[in-house]
Structures are given as C-alpha cells and as structure tokens.
Structure 1
Amino acid sequence: MKALRLVATRQPLELHDIPVPEIGDGDVLVRVRAAGICHSDVHYRAGASPAHPLPLTLGHEVAGEVEAVGKNVSLVRVGDRVCLHYLLCCGDCYYCSTGNEQFCAQGSMIGHYSNGGYAEYIAVPERNAVILPPEIPFEQGAVMMCSSATSFHALRKARLKAGERVAVFGAGGLGMSAIQLAFAFGALDVYAVDINPAKLALAAQYGATPVNARDGDPVTAIRQHTNGRGVDVALELIGLQQTMQQAVQSLGIMGRAVVAGIADKPLVIDTYRELLGKEAEVIGTNDHLLQELPLLIELVRRGKLKLSQVVARTVPLEASPVNAVLDALEQFGGDVRTVIVP
C-alpha cells in the first residue's frame, strides 16, 4: 500500500510502498477515506515534538471504512463507516479505568508513536473505531478526531458555563470548532483572534466577533468589547508565547485560560496582576477522551457544529502537495483544514 512517511526530522515526507498492516484478534483494518493534516504534524516533522520510531507514517485525524476485523471483534463489522480515536491505550490501568486514557503508562498515539493515517490502510484496536453516521462525510469525520475533539475537551476543561464570554486565540481548524462549540455550550459572546482576514470572516459567519491582531493589541480590543471586564474563558490554540500571554491577559475576574498550543518558549505571567489578583487560572489541556466523542459526533450530525467550510480543501496521497501544506502551516499560514483523500 502507499503511505506518506517521515524518514528523518526536518525533512519532507516521502511516499513509500509498504505492506498492508496485519491485525490481531481484537483489531480492525480500516481503509482510509480521509486523513486531516494537523499543525501537530508540523511539530512532528520538525522534531519539536519528536515522532518515533522512524520511519513513521504520520496522520492522526482519520476516517474510513472497516475492511477486516479480528476474530474477537464484536462492536464493528466489515463495511462500517468509522472515525478513529487516536489514543491507543491498555484499557485496564488506573487512568484508563477513570476515563483519562491520555495518561496511560502504556499508551501511544497513531501518527506520532505508531503508524497513522497518511496511508491507504491503518490497523487499530476495536475500541478506537467509533461509528461515523452516514450524514457526516469522511472528510469531516477525520477532522473531528483532533481539531474538533481537542476544542471540545478544552472547553470542558475550562468549565464554560452558559452566559459566559469566550476568547479564541487562533481561528484555524481548532478555532472554528471551538467557536461553534462555545456557543453550543451556552457562551454569550465569542471573540475570535487571528491575523488572517479570511479566517476571521469565516469566524464571523459562525457568530464570533472578529479581532484582527494585525490592527492592534487584541487584549485591548477584547476589553473594549467587554466594557473593560475581560472574558471568562480564553482558549490558546496557536502555540506562541505572545498569544499565550494575551490569552491570560484577556481574562476577567476568576477567568480561566486553557492552553492547547504547543510552544517552544515559556509562558511568562505577572503572577499578581494577571493571576493572583483576579483569582484567574491557567489550565493545560492534553488531547481528548474517547468518552467525549459520541456527543461530539451527535452535535455534528444535528448541525450544531458545522464543518463543511472548516474542511477548506482536499489533496491526494502524494508527497508534494502534503509537504506544501505542512510548509504553509509551519509559517502559520495555509487553509483552515486540508484533508488527504487517498
């Protein structure tokens, strides 16, 4: 089968011909119909968050059709449409048993520590294959598995309540889902912060108030929009020291800043003015949970979360176009979300 593989860090992905993966008794073989290109893949390619062992097939946003099942598989059948939870875990340890599988000591992640979905086929344990309703296209099912799911988990970590105000720093794939999900959770106002006018225009279509950071300090703009109050929740989805600081500075009294972006520089906080004096919180968010996916999928199925414009374009399973997308993302450019369609 064809697979796009990372052979060495800081090098372009290469298209290889490798064997179709074998499956165990509890596994399923999935024919990949869509694989999202995520900004995390840029970090893996650059070595900022090293992928191993190399060579490795990237891709952790995956949807497709079940091609074959192991003899002990009972929940999915050949032909089922599925999207894949990217965290591989033992299912038995303390963290798995409490629904926090991202901390499983034996855990792994497809496309980061095991072969992912930039390929024609992928094998995963049965528990990782989540049924995808026929109303949801494969392309949307793929991006749900990271960008939407990560935003969903971040908002849950933020303890967002109805009537609160939210700032979303980064109007990319995660940000577009975060905006819509914040409103679904009951947010009164959502402010979308970015420097890309096209992305801000799309955010406005979803009901957000656009804040163009090229036009001035976004923290000042947010305080003007909120009559000096600040926001209750700020999500940082970019991974820059500056935007992490701005997320914290945009908070009002007892506000919560949730950091999801991966940065290579530390977050610097004025502990009294920005944290203690307001009883504000800075919260880290890590991946998402299998238990969250059924509700997320249902929100998409019911049209509460619309992803048709989030999936900006598709590219084939070829090295040149995929590397070009990764190059653009590395410069914080590119479309909202690009999806590989093998």
Structure 2
Amino acid sequence: MEYNVFCRLREQIALEMSRLKKAAERIATLDVLASLSETAIKNSYTRPILTETKNFQLVEARHPVLELLLKDKEFVSNNLTMNHDEGNIFIITGSNMAGKSTFIREIALITIMAQMGSFVPAQKAEIGIVDRVFTRVGASDRLQRGMSTFMMEMIETANILNNATSKSLIILDEIGRGTSTYDGVSIAWAVVEYIQKKFCGARTLFATHFHELTELTNIYPNIKNYNLATREWKDEIIFLYKVIEGSSDESFGIHVARLAGMPNEVVLRARDILNNLQKDSLFGNVQNKFLKKEKNTGIKEHQFNFFEPQINTKADDIMAKIKNMDLDSITPIQALQKLSEIKKEISG
C-alpha cells in the first residue's frame, strides 16, 4: 500500500514537472538576489559602474572575505587607478606578510562580483569589463604525475600566456621562485614583456620579490611600481597594509622567520650571513667564508678583506672592470650577463 501511494504521488508530480522546474528556478534566483542584497547592506557595499573601457578605478576597496574574518582589527582598504595612460601593469613589491597577495586577490574578487551582478566592497567602483580573470597564485604540485611545484607554476603561467587577451585581468602572485635566481628573474621579466607586447598591456597585477623587475618601468611607460608600506621601529617591522606608488627593495624575510617562532640562534645567524652576503658576495666564496660557524675559541672569524692587493690581485682586476662599465647605457639584462661573466671569472 505504501509503495502504491508513492507511485501515485510520483505520477502526479511528473505531470507538473515543468511548473515545478520553473518555480524552483525562480526561487533560486530570488535566493541569490536576496543574499547579495543582504550582504551588500550589511557590509556597506556600493553599486559598481561597468564600462567597455580597460580602466579600473576603485576607492577604498576591501577584501570581501578577509574583512569579515578580521574581528580583532579593522581591514585596511586601498585605492586602485588603472588605465593605459597612467599604467595598467603593476609590479608590486614589499615585505613578506605586508599584504601583496591580499591586495591583488581582492581586485580579482571585486571584478568577478561586479560582473556577476553584485554590489562590491568599496566606496566607489568603476570597472572595465574583462573577458576572463587569469590567476597564478599559491603553490601546489602533482608529484603522482611527475610534476613539481615549479613545473605546476610554469604550466599555470603558460596557460595564461596562451589564452589571455588584451581585455583580460591577469593576477600573478610570484613567478620563478622555484628555480635559480637568474632563471627566475629571466622568466618573470620575459613574462611581463610578453604581456606588454602580445596583449597590449593587459591589466596585470604582479606581486613579486624579484626587485629587479622594478627596472621595467624605465623601459615601458605603462608599467608602474607599487609597494606595500612598512615602517621600522627599533628592531620591529610594522606592516601598514597600504599600497603606495614606488618600489621596495626589502623583503624582511628574517623578521617573518622570527615572528614564526624560529629559534633565536637561527635568526641571529641568518642576519649575520645576510650582512656578509650583501657586503661581499661579489668576490667571496659563500660556502667557505660566510657559512662557516665561528670557532669555539670565542674569537669571531676574521672577514677576508678583498681590497688588499697583496692578498687577492684578481679582485682588483674585477673591480677595475666594474668601475669602467658604462652604467648609464647598460640594460638590466646586460647587467645580469656581466654579473654572470664576473662570477665565472672568480670561480675560474
């Protein structure tokens, strides 16, 4: 009897299936619109203006997810003005944990929200419609398929370069960090140039620790440098989370390591090695001179003086070559090539 009742009910429902599907679709639409409206009112969103241009203008833009998770402190908003005349490729440098990734991802989220019909977390938003949003963020691997983290990074980047257009929004969060410095810088540099030339400077936000890329602004007028502001106070780094124009040559990685709970001995040793590398890595043997621990005698290892001709005449020859270089006419790539030649001469 129960099964017979079930079958009759099923037959009656089947006769009204068309009406039920339309009702379900309308209820689903109302649910989405009501949810977007409630969210917009509750979180002070604004109605975006969508245009056919390639421009972006965001005032006091916020990350729609992160601002709700930060219960103990207020989310720091940022502005964005992007057009071909003032620059539509941004090279974003700055310290670890300063907010580079947050900023570029919030721009991608706001763009998607605007084009799906939602209000957005900003005081004002004028957004040129994009055909697609491409992202290269995070780190992942597919070891079961023989693909390393760096290989996955290259595959994701290749997908962007093979499918993006001049109307796309491209979000790049580090490229080339999984290989040697020379390889990484070269790949990242070439990727930016390709976007500039192939896609007529598609709207691009590129967060990177390769400070060499900031030199691209000297070559292409529509490439701009921005960084996340920080302040140093005593031995502390204060993150302001504010995007400002200009470049930064500090990553403060050792400071972040200390915040993560690294043993103090490791942090102090890392600072010592960093100071030595920054001063003398051009001529020094890193493995032998900088990474050796100080002897148990308590006497600090003497730093080799490469500028005494009686100790190392090769250093004088190399210094002479460097002094004779015409730095005003040399390009960044040529500078890297010269540095590579000097490195080979030293090791030889």
TM range (shorter): under 0.3
The alignment's TM-score, normalised by the length of structure 2, stands at 0.25
The alignment's TM-score, normalised by the length of structure 1, stands at 0.26
In terms of fraction of residues, the more helix-rich structure is 2
Choose 1 or 2 for highest CA Rg: 2
